[in-house]
Chain A
Amino acid sequence: MESFPPSKMALRYVPPLTFLKCTACGTENSRTFKEEDYVFKKTNEVCPKCGNNEMLIVAIYVKEKEKKTLS
């Protein structure tokens, strides 16, 4: 009676993404996670749309792979 071999049970580490929202125009942006990030942190990053230099981190999570739908 053999259970699954250890190599098949290993989970791959997928780093999360940081989602930011401009406090001026509301544009949402995402980038790879940095160590100092936390949700509801105000950063000095520049908004790609309006150039405002304050963006709020609204979410940090691992993006799921899009499920392919059969057409």
Chain B
Amino acid sequence: MGRSLAWVLSFALIAFASTPFPLKSKGNVVLQKSKSPYLLEDNFVLGASDTLKIEAGVTVKMGSLAKLLLNGTTEISGTVDFPVRFIPVDSTESWNGIHFIATSSPFSVKYLVLEKAFRNTVSNAEGVFENTTFIDNYYGVRIQSSPLTLLRNCSFERNRFAISVASSTIDAQNLSVRKNVFGLYLEGQVDFRGSKEGIVDNLEDDVRYGSVASGKERVPLSVWQRVETAF
């Protein structure tokens, strides 16, 4: 009883101390440091003609089902002293993730920390992650069918799949991919440019190729899962 009450009170304190994730204003959403931290409890969908800008120093607390689906212009502008952070409301729970899906304008992400998401994705979109830290996620970032994703000075630690890439072009410079279960997972036609030197000390494999590429199975896992969702 006492623990339940304490939990309810602590959640209420978190909720009251946070700014609700803002609704769109004339197609623009701006997250300001002065109003941080923000709280997102379920979904935020950025339309194709909308813009999301996040200022340096902003923290967003994500509920256990929260996701950002970014189909419009996205600029996340952290700095070395004031990074932007996405963290779970409850540190024992994960949240859904950030999904970059815009095909009309490239995304720009600088000094961002993504912590404890289930899966962050880049799907059909292109853009750049600079000085971004992926920590304690299940999929640090899954990049699929991306014409070009740039990874600059990014670090990945304690993710299950740090970087998972399928049929995309990646340009990586100065990566640090350490202490994950899998460092770099490649599936399908991947054009990997840059250096893999920083992909070391991962538990299972630093670089692993998909099951079809290794010739072990005829139907890759991603196809099984995709077939399942069709029914």
**A and B co-occur in one complex:** no
Q: Which residues of A pack against B, CB within 8 Å?
A: none
